[in-house]
Structure 1
């Protein structure tokens, strides 16, 4: 069935159903494209930032190498260095006496990890909502089309092909439209969840190594300016 016939012959309810499903599909594919680009850029930036930090001769050179980087690992490194410097500058005050450097640095890194994980999760709620709700919206359109077919049968007193073909066809198209919107959203959600989990694990490993390195070389950070 030509989809334009649905808009031309369907009532307001069925037209609204199809407009909702079309909007969901457009949003899904737009988000898939944006998320794919974002994750690819983040993964590449993380590789560059990790190499810049661990290949540097000292922390001053490491900070210079990631000065312009917006990678999550670069944010972790900068926040870690700033946390150590902040602690050592206030070591004789109440903040320094409240906890050890180990705990203070751990809290700073955990806060940054939570922020970066939240950024990686952006858009996932929309994909999950489309994947879960689109089939039911399509099913509603299906039920509405069958209802109109039954009304036509009752009005004409017979179940001829001419009476039920239009409404049943609209019902089937509504079912297909719901699945067409839900399936890409579901596949994208599962794929991005997996990629996000991998990047989160990479950040956790980097934060663990960074924590150990900063505690070992805390004294070398005095006088280093974070960029």
Structure 2
């Protein structure tokens, strides 16, 4: 059966169903490619920066490593350093006396950590929505097509395999199209969710190390260690 016959002979609702499923499929594969590439690049950048950062002899050298890095670890480090400098600049004033440096750094790093995790979740809701709704949209298209095939039989007053095979076959394609859109979305959602969970744990470990290092820096002002 030629897939284009659905658009040639189907009504507006059936065509809308197929166009919706095609759009869902395109969006799914776009997110798979973009988010997959972004995740791979971020994890690679995180590992590279972590090695350079902790091997730096002092914070001056460490800050140079952050200049052109777009890694999540770099964003956390920038937020932590900015918070430490802000706290030190406000020492002796109301802001500096409001809480200790430990709590001030914790709040700043926690906020940056939440922002990085939120960025990593972008697109996951779309994949989950497509994975859960596409099969039902396809099933609706199938039911609608079969309904119209049966109505045509009633109007014709007689039934023949040749008369209903084409319309029902076209309607059943909607179910296959729904599954074709849903299955990659579900698999991609599971894979990206697992990758996001692993990266979130790595960020959490790094945030603890960063917090400890910044506390050391605020106390004696010597180097990274």
Q: Paired residue for 1:209?
A: 209
Measure, in 2, the Cα distance between the counterparts of 1:160 and 1:145.
Answer: 17
Aligned pairs for 1:38-77 within 5 A: 38-77=38-77
Q: Is residue 148 from structure 1 mapped to residue 148 from structure 2 by the alignment?
A: yes
Distance change (3 Å), C-alpha of 1:221 and 1:140: farther
Residue 194 of structure 1 is matched in structure 2 by 194
1:171 & 1:139 partners in 2: Cα distance? 9
What is the Cα deviation at residue 138 of structure 1? 0.3
Instruction: Identify the residue that residue 183 of structure 1 maps to in structure 2.
Output: 183
Distance in 2 (alpha carbons) for counterparts of 1:219 and 1:106? 16
CA distance in 2, matches of 1:156, 1:221: 90
- 2:16 paired residue number: 16
8 Å contact from structure 1 (residues 81, 221) kept in 2: no
* Structure-2 residue corresponding to 1:225: none
Deviations 1:96-124 (A, max 9, x none): 11111111000000110111111111111
If the length of structure 1 is used for normalisation, what is the TM-score? 0.94
Deviation at 1:221, TM superposition (A): 4.8
CA shift, 1:152, in A, is: 2.1
Post-superposition Cα deviations, 1:107-153, rounded to whole Å, max 9, x if no partner, equal: 00011011111111111121111111111110110110110121122
Q: Give 1:122's aligned residue.
A: 122
| SS of aligned partner of 1:69 | coil
Structure-2 separation of matches of 1:179 and 1:58: 55
Aligned residues: 222
- 8 Å CA contact 1:59, 1:221 repeated in 2: no
What is the rounded CA distance, in whole Å, between the counterparts of 2:204 and 2:196 in structure 1? 12
Q: 1:66-123, CA deviations, whole angstroms, 9 ceiling, x for partnerless residues?
A: 2110111001111111211211111211111111111100000011011111111111
Distance across 2 between alignment mates of 1:81 and 1:34: 31
Tell me how large the CA RMSD over aligned residues is.
Answer: 1.3
Match of 1:29 in 2: 29
Q: TM-score, normalised by structure 2?
A: 0.95
Q: CA deviation at 1:35?
A: 0.6
Q: Shift of the alpha carbon at 1:219?
A: 3.9
Point out where structure 1 has 5 or more consecutive residues left out of the alignment.
223-227
Label 1:220 to 1:85 Cα distance change in 2 as closer, same or farther (>3 A).
farther
For 2:82 and 2:21, locate their aligned partners in 1 and report how far apart those are by CA, in whole Å.
48
